[in-house]
Amino acid sequence: MKHRYLPMTETDKKEMLGTIGIESIDELFADIPEKVRFQRDYDIKPALSETDLLKEMTALAAQNADSRSHASFIGAGVYDHYKPVIVDHVISRSEFYTAYTPYQPELSQGELQAIFEFQTMICELTGMAIANSSMYDGGTSLAEAGTLAAGHTRRKKLLISEAVHPEYRDVVRTYAAGQSIEVVDIPLKDGKTDEDALASMIDGDTAAVMVQYPNFFGQIEDIGRFADMAHEHKALFVVSANPLALAVLTPPGKLGADITVGDAQPFGIPESFGGPHCGYFAVTEKLMRKVPGRLVGETTDEEGRRGYVLTLQAREQHIRREKATSNICSNQALNALAASVAMTALGRQGVREMAIQNISKTRYAIEAFKNAGFDVKFKGPSFNEFVVDFKEPVGQVNRRLLDSGIIGGYDLGLTYPELQGHALIAVTEKRTKEEIDAFVQEMEAIHA
């Protein structure tokens, strides 16, 4: 068999075997005990030519309803946003995407500088002092914020708002279980974190209070009050924030957050069926040495030229092994690069304009649903999501909407039993007035 990825020729093989002083490649595997040696070929599908592979993969992809062919109104942590075309051109430069972790700084200045810029942009948006080079996603980032808080405060209880993404909360629980940390949900009140309930729950065992900003239902909560409550009890205040919303919202760093995490997916990263996205992790100065993952720092070379290196590595697994602050090794570097390019392209003006468009279109959609007689739950200010009572199973509604070229909202009944028949609807800057109107009309037709 010849293959375009395998340059070995018969002549090469012969010469190499000769140098090693053996007759056949099999001799190199002679140390594998007979009993465990695999005696057959893998029973897997046959190799495809490039043409056939492309054909088959294109056919598989065509079976899915995507947000190019459909008008998408689903969010819940993953959004169909404007992606500046330039993003893909930058991340397709293979000097970036075929490189490994920049452990050899002399050969990796490009990657290191790009990450240094990413860290700066995340600090700008969140108002935090320090940001790392990325985490897997918003959910694991929040989970690591929880374990950091427990380690830092030497306490074993996390209070997390039910208005935090349900899947994020699940991940927090799994990570916490590993370290015997208790996770307690703070109940909801009118679609927001119940402040009175929090006041009665928080105590000297609380390691952190964890909220989402804007919350899972799209509501913008007054999170500064929770910060005060957390700090009164010497607990950390952890905020999971949509970085796009931070273009117009007071940054968590100014509202008392000790750790701000989230996912940079709204900036130039495709939905990609839920991953890979790009977690970010930002902290106050005080927590700098407890941050999980890689940090890029500025320094100089022997000639005094500015350069960048991975730094404070004593926190990390390859140095500290079992005493590391986290086990993370691979992160989401290429997606952090994508987010950087998108944040750069949008820039100071664009992130704000895009955020305002999200708020404006969401307001328009809320009014349109109300005018059509639908009950819009939760009356507080919202960013780009809201909850509508469809009064019938959301799954069924969504399957009908698909026929009209619409990807409907998230079925809240799946994770909030009291919200059966309610959908969480996202309206980004990509949705046109026409599409919003068509969505409302379809719903009226379904409802009639």
Partner 1 sequence: MHNENQPLIFEISKEGRIGYSLPELDVPEADLSSAIPAGLLREEPAALPEVSELDIMRHYTALSNRNHGIDSGFYPLGSCTMKYNPKINESVARLSGFADIHPLQDESSVQGAMALMHDLQEHLVEITGMDEVTLQSAAGAHGEWTALMMIRAFHESNGDHQRTKVIVPDTAHGTNPASASVAGFDTVTVKSGEDGLVDLDDLRRVAGEDTAALMLTNPNTLGLFEEHILEMAEIIHGVGGKLYYDGANLNAVMSKARPGDMGFDAVHLNLHKTFTGPHGGGGPGSGPVGVKKELVPFLPKPLLVKKEDLYTFDYDRPQAIGRVKPFYGNFGINVRAYSYIRSMGAEGLKLVSEYAVLNANYMMRRLAPYYDTPYEQHCKHEFVLSGRRQKKLGVRTLDIAKRLLDFGFHPPTVYFPLNVEEGMMIEPTETESKETLDAFIDAMIQIAKEVEETPEVVQEAPHTTVVSRLDETKAARKPVLKYVPKEQSEPVAVN
Residues 61-100 that bind partner 1 (CB under 8 A): 61-69, 72, 74, 76-78, 80, 82, 84, 86, 88-90, 92-100
Rounded CA separation 139/128 (Å): 19
**Interface with partner 1, residue 162, by CB under 8 A:** no
Q: Segment near partner 1 (CB under 8 A), from 154-162, 195-203, 270-278, 384-392? A: 270-278
Q: Which of 182, 194, 195, 353 binds partner 1 (CB under 8 A)?
A: 353
Q: Segment near partner 1 (CB under 8 A), from 21-29, 190-198, 369-377, 438-446? A: 21-29
**Interface with partner 1, residue 369, by CB under 8 A:** no
x-or-dash pattern for partner 1, window 111-130, by CB under 8 A?
x-xx-xx-xxx-xxx---xx
Provide the minimum distance between the beta carbon of 207 and partner 1 in the complex, in angstroms, as a whole number.
16
- The residue among 99 and 201 lying less far from partner 1, judged by its C-beta, is 99
- The residue among 154 and 305 lying less far from partner 1, judged by its C-beta, is 305
Rounded CA separation 406/428 (Å): 14
Rounded CA separation 294/310 (Å): 7
- The residue among 204 and 370 lying less far from partner 1, judged by its C-beta, is 370
Q: Which of 152, 155, 157, 165 binds partner 1 (CB under 8 A)?
A: 165
**Interface with partner 1, residue 42, by CB under 8 A:** yes
Question: At 383, is the secondary structure helix, strand, or coil?
Answer: coil
Question: At 398, is the secondary structure helix, strand, or coil?
Answer: helix
Q: Segment near partner 1 (CB under 8 A), from 154-162, 170-178, 185-193, 438-446? A: 170-178
Q: Segment near partner 1 (CB under 8 A), from 131-139, 156-164, 200-208, 234-242? A: 131-139
Residues between 295 and 324 with contacts to partner 1, criterion CB under 8 A = 295-303, 305-309, 311-314, 316-324
Rounded CA separation 224/177 (Å): 29
Instruction: Give the containing element (helix H, strand E) for 336.
Output: helix 333-371
**Interface with partner 1, residue 357, by CB under 8 A:** yes
β-bridge partners, 127 = none
**Interface with partner 1, residue 19, by CB under 8 A:** yes
Rounded CA separation 122/117 (Å): 9
Q: Which of 10, 23, 104, 448 binds partner 1 (CB under 8 A)?
A: 104
Q: Which of 429, 440, 442, 443 binds partner 1 (CB under 8 A)?
A: 429
Q: Which of 159, 211, 287, 343 binds partner 1 (CB under 8 A)?
A: 343
Q: Residue 410 has which token pair?
A: 């998230």
**Interface with partner 1, residue 238, by CB under 8 A:** no
**Interface with partner 1, residue 222, by CB under 8 A:** yes
**Interface with partner 1, residue 48, by CB under 8 A:** yes
Residues 130, 134, 139, 141: is their CA dihedral positive or negative? negative
**Interface with partner 1, residue 371, by CB under 8 A:** no
β-bridge partners, 161 = 186
Provide the minimum distance between the beta carbon of 229 and partner 1 in the complex, in angstroms, as a whole number.
16
| Burial (CB count within 10 angstroms: exposed 0-12, middle 13-18, buried 19+), residue 51 | exposed
Q: Residue 104 has which token pair?
A: 């050899």
Of 186, 255, 187, 185, the closest CA to residue 220 belongs to 255
Provide the minimum distance between the beta carbon of 110 and partner 1 in the complex, in angstroms, as a whole number.
3
Provide the minimum distance between the beta carbon of 200 and partner 1 in the complex, in angstroms, as a whole number.
25
- The residue among 179 and 441 lying less far from partner 1, judged by its C-beta, is 179
- The residue among 173 and 233 lying less far from partner 1, judged by its C-beta, is 173
**Interface with partner 1, residue 250, by CB under 8 A:** yes
Q: Contact 355/244 with Cβ under 8 angstroms?
A: yes
How far from 278 is each of 102, 134, 213, 224, CA to CA, in Å? 18, 6, 17, 26
Residues between 176 and 215 with contacts to partner 1, criterion CB under 8 A = 177-180
**Residue 54: CA atoms inside 13 Å, Cβ hemisphere, count?**
3
Instruction: Give the containing element (helix H, strand E) for 201.
Output: helix 195-201
* Other beta carbons within 10 Å of 375: 12
Any long-range contacts for 106-111 (C-beta under 8 Å, 24+ apart)?
Answer: 109/307, 109/308, 111/333, 111/337
Provide the minimum distance between the beta carbon of 287 and partner 1 in the complex, in angstroms, as a whole number.
11
**Interface with partner 1, residue 262, by CB under 8 A:** no
Residues 6+ apart with CB under 8 A from 245: 213, 214, 220, 355, 358, 383, 384
Q: Which of 203, 204, 232, 432 binds partner 1 (CB under 8 A)?
A: 432
Q: Residue 329 has which token pair?
A: 């090794």
Q: Segment near partner 1 (CB under 8 A), from 17-25, 199-207, 229-237, 371-379? A: 17-25
The backbone torsions φ and ψ at residue 260, rounded to the nearest 5 degrees and listed phi first, read: -120, 130
